[in-house]
Amino acid sequence: MPKDYTLKLSGLEPLIVNKESNFINIGERCNVTGSAKFLKLIQQENYDEALQVAMEQVRGGAQVLDVNMDEGMIDGEKAMVRFLNLIASEPEIARIPLMIDSSKWDIIEAGLKCAQGKCIVNSISMKVGMERFLYEAKKVKKYGAAVVVMAFDELGQADNYERRCEITRRSYDILTKEVGFNPADIIFDLNIFPVGTGMEEHRKNALDFFRATTWVKENLPGAKVSGGVSNVSFSFRGNNRMREAMHSSFLYHGIRAGMDMGIVNASMLEVYDDIPKDLLEKIEDVILDRKDDATEKLLEFAETLKAKDKKEVVDEEWRKGTVESRLSHALVKGIIDFIDVDTEEARQKYIRPLKVIEGPLMDGMNVVGDLFGSGKMFLPQVVKSARVMKKSVAYLMPYLDEEKRLNMDQAKNAGKILLATVKGDVHDIGKNIVGVVMACNNFEIIDIGVMVSCEKILEAAVRENVDVIGLSGLITPSLDEMVYVAKEMEKQGFKIPLLIGGATTSRIHTAVKIDPCYSGAVVHVLDASKSVPVASSLLSKDQKEGFFKKIKNEYETARVDHANRKEDKEYISYEEARLNKHKIDWENTTIPIPKVLGSQYFIEYSIAEIREFIDWTPFFQTWMLQGKYPKIFENEIIGAEAKKLFIDANKMLDEVIEGNLLTCKAAVGIFPANSVNDDEVEVYSDENRTTILHTFQFLRQQGKKGTNVANISLSDFIAPKASGKKDYIGFFAVTAGIGIEPLLEKYKKDHDDYKDIMIKSVADRLAEAFTELMHKKVRKEIWGYAQDERLDNERLIKEEYIGIRPAPGYPACPDHTEKPPIFDLLDVTKNTDIILTESNAMYPASSVSGMFFAHPESKYFGLGKIGKDQAENYAIRKGMNLELIEKWLAPNLNYDV
């Protein structure tokens, strides 16, 4: 058996499940048995909208996508294959692993045959008989999938400790010894049953689950454990306060017993340490079966609880503790009110200010780090803790400077990390979050900002004698800059590790493009929560050599697999792709004439109005809280913290509006246009259409498609010049970041990372909301092709309107070099103060630019990979050399350069 018991899943991107992982979110709405909407779409063969359901799941934070087609009136096998093939053509969906869910093996196998990456089969069990169990298990292994194994056998469902152990042992032995299954790919659903029912046979339900979980972890190496947590509190339906506390207690003991993942569906999860002691004692008397009359006592106590919203009560009891306990409490709870007083008291007690940092402050931050690592604290709380720490250290700084002057020792730390957003890129929210999380784990962070050249990065690394360099970037040109930094590190003889992170980065790009350029350690860090264990492993005397070899081997394997996959993927020639364009019946198409042609500018637009268009789901994702707004507030694990974060964000919005702290500006223009030569769009100065202002160049899909599926280009949605139809195209650029710099300076001076990240994330949401508002204004007033549109914000977020607004740098048009012509046409910089960097990133960072297409058939799509024949044609059309085009389009090329 392998010693590495990490469950490794993948879509286009990996999902690693190990002992450090938090609960895994599974998107369940692509399930015809659980979603009436999805069932109707599949029955009507409306797969475009069905794909949008999947997209919503991914954007709502799903880490695995469950797909189920079990319905008597549809051909489940055919529907599964068609839907999974369509998913494969949408990179945003295809990036996460699939869970192929069916009670019919034929449907599961059909899905396995066309699923990319490594998925999960849900589910198999011995209740179908040994012969069938073996057959299905061998098939799952053949397809390389992980599997959910239900605690069932021929006699029925496991409902006690002994039966759980017996069934899982039999299943495990059969799977590992007879089938040859990797234990890490086995997920046992151990069945969670209610407690507190009053029935004698239910007294040990929770305890048996915990004992069985521990037994599985101790006796079945590598196996994972799951279950539906909300089942445990069914006896107390209607009493949300009781259920919250029960779920928290159950999870606390379940995780301690070894539980890896679970489904929790109640409204919120109480912080375990915050459950009133009298309530917790009675709950755990029941859950742990500690007293014969436990259920009766809990039922009596439940009557005294109110299910209404909890009121905040100021508890000053913690102020009576020692200075050490007060500092720890302030750090964990993010309370800054007394930090100066308590820090001064600690300074007097410890004599040397350095000892205050090394002692009570680091002790408190170690608690924060442990709670975050175990999933008991979440990013917003950690950022607040960092704010407390920084304010305390800032208070001590004059005394520390005096110590330094007297040549005393400096505080020890876990390592010195240099962070930078690479040249040409201005985005830094993610980098800032990484810095906060690592600082909370005793790393010294040197953040040298945004748009930092390679030369400055390496100079700072040498000057500061750092242990690790971390590079961040959001736009695709940043990928090339990271490659350049890696090459220069190799050229200059660096040996220190290089961490790679940011929205456009990926494990496969790091493995294929960056790792070969540098002989030192190169590691892609998926998110802030992974930065600490990665950096710790790279700097540990005992672990660094083994970790280094492991990563190098993994990336070498990834490169080989990537090369093989590229060979398997079928592409057609650019000429064939153009012949297979999306065909619109232009002869019978009536094109609406815009109400207003030319450019318009909106200066100091009302933020109060923009606010109503905010899509809050991505806001929570920025803070590493995965879930769709407003349902995220009902999530038992993160709901309470998400609600606090939402309240804080809206308080900041109130302050922004009241104090005119940010200015929102927009440039919008509608111009006469026609497509020419298939993939070009001419934009004219007026309706005479004789003067061409600019010819925009578009790219076309080249992946081989199924029957009657087009190879799409955005130009397909603009009427060809040869059709004789007069068409139009729109452009826009908006920002919500004017005025943000003084705020950031203020928060930096106040050592307030929480407000720093909050204002950036709020400004980003305002920019996106402003774009939504402008698009609506275009549809209803400026272009006016949808004057009767009546959509609320929820339907706007779901993009139920006519038309699209693709942006350069995104899946349908990934080339950032199409931004400058937009800026020129609208005279953006002069009228909005948005500027473009040398990598065509927009500054302020909270800005969006793009195009408006109005045709009812226009839709979003992923370009995918293109061939050299199209790249060469595109270079000629744009008047640029091929090498430069290949640099800008590197992630989209189906060949190596």
Active site members: 425, 427, 478
Euclidean distance between the first and the last CA atom of the chain, given in angstroms as a whole number? 40
As a dihedral over the C-alpha atoms of residue 123, residue 125, residue 128, residue 132, rounded to 10 degrees, the angle is 80
Task: Answer yes or no: are the C-beta atoms of 511 and 555 closer than 8 Å.
Answer: yes
Residue holding tokens 């450090």? 20
DSSP string, 67-89: EE---TTS-HHHHHHHHHHHHHT
Residues in the chain: 897
Token pair for 804: 């699209």
The single-letter code of the amino acid at 594 is: P
φ and ψ at 344, to 5 degrees?
-65, -40
Q: Within 10 Å of residue 560's Cβ, how many Cβ atoms? A: 11
Q: How far from chain centre, in Å, is Cα 491?
A: 34
Task: Answer yes or no: are the C-beta atoms of 485 and 514 closer than 8 Å.
Answer: no
Residues in Cβ contact with 300 at an 8 Å cutoff, skipping those fewer than 6 apart:
none
- Separation between Cα atoms, residue 659 and residue 652, nearest integer Å: 10
The C-alpha angle with vertex 683 and arms to 678 and 684, in degrees rounded to 5, equals 130
φ and ψ at 609, to 5 degrees?
-75, -45
The C-alpha angle with vertex 477 and arms to 461 and 527, in degrees rounded to 5, equals 65
Task: Answer yes or no: are the C-beta atoms of 33 and 249 closer than 8 Å.
Answer: no
Largest CA distance in the chain: 91
Residue holding tokens 């038309």? 803
475: left (phi over 0), alpha (psi -120 to 50) or beta: beta
Residues in Cβ contact with 269 at an 8 Å cutoff, skipping those fewer than 6 apart:
244, 247, 248, 251, 635, 636, 637, 638, 639, 640
Could you say which DSSP state residue 894 is in? S
Burial class (CB in 10 A: 0-12, 13-18, 19+), 579: exposed
Burial class (CB in 10 A: 0-12, 13-18, 19+), 291: middle
Closest CA to 400 of 365, 441, 360, 357: 357
Token pair for 472: 């961040």
Q: Is 596 helix (H, G, I), strand (E, B) or coil?
A: coil
Q: Within 10 Å of residue 647's Cβ, how many Cβ atoms? A: 10
Token pair for 23: 């609960």
The single-letter code of the amino acid at 70 is: D
Could you say which DSSP state residue 175 is in? I
Residues facing residue 703 across a β-bridge = 571
Residues facing residue 101 across a β-bridge = 68, 122
Q: Is 30 helix (H, G, I), strand (E, B) or coil?
A: strand
- Separation between Cα atoms, residue 743 and residue 751, nearest integer Å: 12
Residue holding tokens 């920002």? 735
Closest CA to 680 of 692, 693, 698, 694: 698
Strand order in the sheet with 98-101: 26-31, 64-68, 98-101, 120-124, 146-150, 186-189, 224-226
- Separation between Cα atoms, residue 629 and residue 96, nearest integer Å: 20
Q: Is 675 helix (H, G, I), strand (E, B) or coil?
A: strand
